[in-house]
Copies of this chain bind each other. A is one copy, B any other.
Amino acid sequence: MTHCDSSTSSTGTMVTSRKQYVVSRPVYSEDSLAEDHEKIQRKHKALTAHVKEYLTCDAKRAKAAVLSALPVIGWMRSYRVREWLLGDVVSGVSTGLVAIMQGLAFSLLASLPPSYGLYTAFFPVLTYFFLGTSRHISVGPFPVLSLMVGAVVTRLVPDEGAHANITDFEGLTQDQRRVLVASSMTFLMGIFQLAMGVLQVGFIVVYLSETLVSGFTTAAAVHILVSQLKFVFGLTVPGISGPLSIIYTLEKIFVQITSTNICDLVMSIVIMVVVFIVKELNDRYKAKLPFPIPIEVIMTVIACGISYKLNFEDRYKVDVVGKMVSGYESPIAPSVEVFQESAVEAFPVAIVGFAVAFSVAKVYSIKHDYPIDGNQELIAFGVSNIFGAAFSSFAASTSLSRTAVQESSGGKTQTAGLISAIIVMIVTLALGFLLAPLPKSVLGALVIVNLKGMLMQLREIPYLWRRDKPECVVWVATCLGAILLGLDLGLALGLGVELLSVVFRAQFPRCSILANLPGTDLYRDQKDYLQVFQPKGVKIFRIPSPIFFANIEFLRSKLVEAVGFSPQRVLRKRERALRKIKATFQKRDPTITEKALEDSCWTTPDEMCANTEEMDPPCDPKDVSFQINMNADLPPGINFPRVDLHSLILDFSAVSFLDISAMKGLKTALKEFIRIDVDVYIVSCDALILEKLHSCMFFDDEIQTSMFFPTLHDAMLHVLEKFKDNRTVDVRNI
């Protein structure tokens, strides 16, 4: 290592006086900079080297692999029994109660009998305990996923009409068919998640941006609301799926509105009002209450009791949960035919399920400072869903509210999840009969009242509109798309719009003409400052975005607008004029060679420039062997077009990438200017892009590396030096 004082280097001096910017160094082009400062030739690792490294195996790596595949080993070894166990047990019991309620309610969303919701709150938890990296999320049913599963279930096994043509359905009851559809779809979803985890593509969830997820969940809330209305009103509405199903469902509800079951409606409204108020109070007196009032559990118990006592089922024809299957069913094989029918829907379910779980897990991993691993989470959810599907449960992810309960009531590890699963199991095995008289409308009301948070996201629309219009468009498109087209198509639409919005931002950038701030080496948009310095014949054009196929034409047209003429048209006119001039002069004096003529036409002599406002790049008159005074000698009707530009400087500092199509367009654009004798300079070009230009044969006789300069000021000084004699100063006052 060599130490040397920075202030006395061989190439120049950098003096740091108090709050003064003093630099004196040679003017650099990229070429001369590379000469003066020793550059290291970096070798890029080949793809094979990366693969090799990835595939290397030793004892340490093997151990790390086992630990990362079974995270339970890691946290079990450091489990602090005294500190954590009590919290885990308390949390497990509370979470278990919530899980029971949600399991029952969400199974209605999935159009399945209630007990399957309890299965979903049980089986996936068991495998997640071993495989999951998050210590706080509560695995189990999630309303949006339940609804997405429900859409497929009602499509393949509708309430009325013929079910889909699936041979595996033979000999099964309506409910058994539905369970088969739900579990097969869940199995497939698990396979998708597992595959993504193994392929290490968990990063794709970054494409589900906050805005997209917000719009999507708001739409999901609307769907959930509509799907629960039939329970609240006590109506029989067949499940409808596909685009516009929400409209058709609402239509069916309003047609039957007269046959509303008043008992259901009154009970629902009472429960909604009470739960809503108590929840608000819980929120307001959060600090003063030792724990939030479990109003949902209380209302369920009360409703159960009243319904049983007054025999709602028989007396008011209220639809109740009814007798649940006690215990578990033996494992079933998924149906390959259902796979084929539901593959398109299972994929978004897999993505959404993972995205929700991962984003919730991330919140708590940051809060409690432990690492989570996206790909391992995918594997954990994949295996959990496959395992759950084998035991007839449906798509599991996490629920925000349930996870909040698990964490806030003291859960420290997935032990709490395991205990909640045991609570759920107890109900399934022994206490299910207690829930039999519970009206479905109560569950519906509880689902609806919990949608408040999701629906409140609507307030984001004006917020986003004021701040960032493209993002607002993404929100609205995703939300409307998901409401009208259904959740899966809406998600695809939203993703498309979101990707387009990124492209769009880069596609129509605001280009600007830069000018020097007098007395500095700084260059800013000429429109923004009162006093700017713009040497005559020099234009600085800033390209404020990456250059790629979708904006190269736009940028070219902006460049033409900025310089005030089309170089292509000037070139063509010059060629035409040249041909005519050639003809005329050769007629007059056949000894004039074509070469001399061409030279004299392309390079306008100095005396001529002096009296034309539009001037061509001047050159040394000595070089020209033959002169024509164009103004005087030109035959009438021939006009040799000139431009008032000798140097064009392109500011590439914001060009973060450049694709092949754009490179071709850029090359053409540069050549057009070079051919009409405008010097083109490119400044602040990224080193990687410069490297790419070299590897793609961008340079030739006309486009040379000497046009690259490190800063705008270097290029400007170079230009001023080159055109020293006819430098004119023009300080504009706009």
Contact = CB atoms under 8 A, between A and B. Distances in A.
Interface in A504-550: 505-507, 509-510, 516-522, 524-525, 527-531, 533, 544-546, 548-550
A174 interface: no
Interface string A1-29: 11111100111111010111111111110
Interface in A666-686: 684, 686
Contacts of A261: none
A572 B365 CA distance: 13
Interface stretch (A36-44, A302-310, A478-486): A36-44
A638 B527 CA distance: 58
A4 B731 contact: yes
Interface in A368-400: 369
A344 interface: no
A717 B22 CA distance: 10
A455 to B, nearest CB: 21
Contact of A369 (B38, B554, B572, B692): B572
Interface string A634-672: 000000000000000000011111011100100000000
Interface in A445-488: 464, 466-468, 470-471
A706 to B, nearest CB: 14
Interface stretch (A88-96, A251-259, A707-715): A707-715
A733 B38 CA distance: 11
A201 interface: no
A696 interface: yes
Contact of A506 (B13, B210, B530, B657): B657
A289 interface: no
Contacts of A38: 529-531
B518 A33 contact: no
Q: How many copies does the complex hold?
A: 2
Contacts of A544: 656, 686, 688
Contacts of A720: 16
Contact of A524 (B533, B687, B721): B687
Interface residues of A, number: 111
A11 B519 CA distance: 6
A493 B273 CA distance: 48
Given A19-B26, A209-B549, A659-B471, A530 B654 contact: no
Interface stretch (A146-154, A232-240, A408-416, A495-503): A495-503
A729 interface: yes
Nearest to A207: B550
Contact of A520 (B23, B466, B507, B524): B23
Nearest to A548: B502
A471 B660 contact: yes
B21 A23 contact: yes
A547 to B, nearest CB: 10
Given A3-B731, A524-B687, A529 B37 contact: yes
Nearest to A18: B721
Contact of A656 (B506, B550, B711): B506
A568 interface: yes
A669 to B, nearest CB: 13
Given A40-B529, A544-B686, A509 B209 contact: no
Interface of A: 1-6, 9-14, 16, 18-28, 33, 37-40, 42, 206-207, 209-211, 366, 369, 464, 466-468, 470-471, 496, 498-500, 502-503, 505-507, 509-510, 516-522, 524-525, 527-531, 533, 544-546, 548-551, 553-554, 568-569, 572, 653-657, 659-661, 664, 684, 686-688, 692, 695-696, 710-711, 713-714, 717-718, 720-721, 729-734
27 contacts: A5-B729, A11-B518, A11-B519, A11-B520, A14-B519, A16-B720, A20-B27, A21-B23, A21-B24, A21-B25, A21-B521, A23-B24, A28-B522, A39-B529, A206-B507, A206-B549, A207-B503, A207-B550, A369-B568, A499-B502, A505-B548, A506-B656, A528-B687, A544-B688, A546-B546, A653-B653, A656-B656
